[in-house]
Amino acid sequence: MSMIILRGRVLSFVSEPQALDDASSYRYIEDGAISIIDGKIVAVGDFDAAAVGDAEVIDHRPHLIVPGFIDTHLHYVQSQMIASYAGSLLEWLNTYTFVEEQKFSQQGHATAVASAFYDELIRNGTTTAVAYCSSAPASVDAYFAEAEKRNMLMIGGKVMMDRNAPEALCDTAQSGYDDSKALIARWHGRGRGLYAISPRFAITSTPAQLRATQALVAEHPDCYVQTHLSENQAEISLSMQLYPDSSDYTGIYEDFGLLGPKTLLGHCIHLSHRETGVLAETGAVAVFCPTSNLFLGSGLFDRERLCQQGVRIGLATDIGGGTSFSMLRTLDEAYKVLQLRGQRLTPFNAFYMLTLGNARALSLEGTIGTIAPGCAADLVVLDAAATPSMALRMATATRLDEELFVLQTMGDDRSIAEVYVAGARAKSTLGGLFA
Ligand code: GUN
Ligand code: ZN
């Protein structure tokens, strides 16, 4: 068993930062060593104290090494439709999304896009993501096969949708159930893959399909559940027309037993007090998708209100409603959304969200999201002076929180100097023109 040691400035969180200068929430080592054997971190500490022996030492100084970024909601099948010009959600879905996703019944197309999608994740420092595939099982096979090839911890699933979409994209309550069940058997727990049962949203699922989903969730309680909730006013109105017996939009998913600690709910912008209370009670996660919410004009996520009510929160790109694969760009937009709400996002809290915060949202603390013995060596090396304007700004920065704030405000894929997936270099080994 050979050991590698990454040398650099090491930052990892142990709890959620409660204030701008909450130093108890993180561990920072100025000249740190991360020792890795077989893809796992075995030791972290000062480089001077590390047992180097005959280990290979890779020196990343003066860069910052943090846990790999985690993206808790995106659609890999929308990689080629980012920047599609539409006024709002339902028009965007009908005009572009439901057309684009039909291409993924072809295995060759799915495989090619999956490969490009993973390249893009890595280029941007994202080492774990939770994705929607299309309704075609072939798209799920391509998604997990590529993850397995790259040894990445990836979560995803087949979208279930049996109405209000083109026929070629629709399954049925029975086929959605059967296909999902077969895919869970094939992919959940294989390599680092984990399955997410994925009814798209209330508008595109009949009550019969949500009943079938409920059965699937009961039969596979260790799988994730992902769907969309309360993104847009027209979406909310139509959902309530389709489910008149439910008390509100959240009530639809509640009535079908779909809310629990492994449930990820994209958007959650326009929730009532009762609805946030239900999310808090069930432990379901509200996923903040700032670039998408701004691009589609959906609204401003009220992070403070949800936090105060005890709702768990994740952060995500929501490609392709979202406009960038970069979790740093996502932080920049998140900051601005919260500014408009009169709320703050401190630099430490921002990087907590990308790493330990999102790991907790996925109930994966101790596996990913921290630099600690026993965790996967999924890591990102950050260069806060990657562009001339960043270098100019960094010349005046003296503190760690300033450096983080420059990264979250000005950073993008160019600030990702290197990425490690299970201890192996992943960015510098990418093929292709832009690697
Ligand atoms: N609601 C249902 N499907 C989608 C989707 O693909 N993207 C977004 N942003 N919202 C949705
Ligand atoms: Zn989405």
CB of 101 closer than 6 angstroms to any ligand 1 atom:
no
**Residues within 5 A (CB) of ion ligand 2:** 266, 318
* Length, in residues, of the chain: 435
CB of 322 closer than 6 angstroms to any ligand 1 atom:
no
pLDDT digit string (tens) for 373-418? 999 999 999 999 999 999 999 999 999 999 999 999 999 999 999 9
The pLDDT, as a whole number, for residue 434 is 44
For 166, residues 6+ apart whose C-beta sits below 8 A from its C-beta are 98, 99, 102
Helix then strand then coil, in percent of the chain rounded to 5, is 40, 25, 35
Q: Which ligand is nearest to the CA of 91?
A: 1
Cα 79 from Cα 118, distance rounded (Å):
10
pLDDT digit string (tens) for 143-200? 999 999 999 999 999 999 999 999 999 999 999 999 999 999 999 999 999 999 999 9
The pLDDT, as a whole number, for residue 389 is 98
Determine the residue of 228, 318, 323 to mutate for testing ligand 1's pocket, defined as the one with the most ligand atoms within 8 A of the Cβ atom. 228
The pLDDT, as a whole number, for residue 435 is 41
Q: Which ligand is nearest to the CA of 77?
A: 1
Share of the chain above pLDDT 90, in %: 98
- Cα torsion angle, 418, 419, 423, 428, sign: negative
CB 24: neighbour CB atoms within 10 A? Answer: 11
Determine the residue of 201, 203, 205, 268 to mutate for testing ligand 1's pocket, defined as the one with the most ligand atoms within 8 A of the Cβ atom. 201
What 3-state DSSP class applies to 257? coil
The pLDDT, as a whole number, for residue 432 is 60
Rg of the chain on CA atoms, in Å: 21
The pLDDT, as a whole number, for residue 322 is 98
User: For atom 7 of ligand 1, which residue has the closest CA?
Assistant: 321
Q: Shortest CA distance to 230 belongs to which of 239, 221, 222?
A: 239
Low-confidence ranges of the chain (pLDDT < 70): 1, 432-435
